[in-house]
Structure 1
Amino acid sequence: MTSPPFGKAAAEKALDRLIDLARSDTGQARRAANFLLAWWNGDDCGHFPIADLFGVDPMIAAHMTTIIGFLGQHQGAIYPDAFGRKAEMIELVGRWRDFESK
């Protein structure tokens, strides 16, 4: 039996792939990081312009929409720490956001 397309297992797999991408130096890493950090804390880390989906490969966009689909099925807020990824998100904040200069 396969897991649902927007189930927790699919969302966790998509999250891991996006974190791996956001840790890299590719051209799409910034967009992946922006997506993840907007989910983590958009008020402090910035928001994700939906048009940025046009600038990523279809598989990366699918990972993002998997997470959005998962989140849309639940009432209340769910953040990456629900998947045990708090440390990874803090790492991405350090990599992609410089709060010391603000």
Structure 2
Amino acid sequence: MAKMTDAERAALERLISHAMRDSGQSRRVADFLLAWWNPGQCGGFDITVTWGLDDEIVEDVVVVFGYAARNNHYPDTLGYGSQFEAIVRAWRPELVSEEGQ
């Protein structure tokens, strides 16, 4: 597995932080992250959604997308499983209910 650079890790952690807030931009960031983690259950990502993000957030999305595209790894394999589970609970609670049944 290719190690994340400090810049890639920082970008991912900023996006995770954004996704855990409660705003329109947070939802967009969560959608992006969850599309990477599990697109089959969490849905895909419409690139035009980035038009509603601040420039700094878009830059982080580009960095993380580049990492994911080049390295073929899911975020939980990078040690972010619990953070992504929290994003699912926040933005896709219906998936949490299905797992508990």
Corresponding position: 1:96 with 2:53? no
Corresponding position: 1:41 with 2:44? no
Q: Which runs of 5+ in 2 are unaligned?
A: none
Between the aligned partners of 2:26 and 2:63, the Cα distance in structure 1 is: 18
RMSD of aligned alpha carbons: 1.5
Please point out which of 18, 26, 32 is paired with 2:15.
18
Task: Map 1:50-65 to 2 at 5 A.
Answer: 50-65=47-62
Q: TM-score, normalised by structure 1?
A: 0.83
Number of residue equivalences: 93
Moved over 6 A (4+): none
- Considering fraction of residues, name the structure with more helix: 2
Q: TM-score, normalised by structure 2?
A: 0.84
Q: Which runs of 5+ in 1 are unaligned?
A: 1-6
Please point out which of 23, 27, 43 is paired with 2:24.
27
The answer (yes or no) to whether the contact 1:40–1:80 under 8 Å persists in 2 is yes
Between the aligned partners of 1:83 and 1:13, the Cα distance in structure 2 is: 13
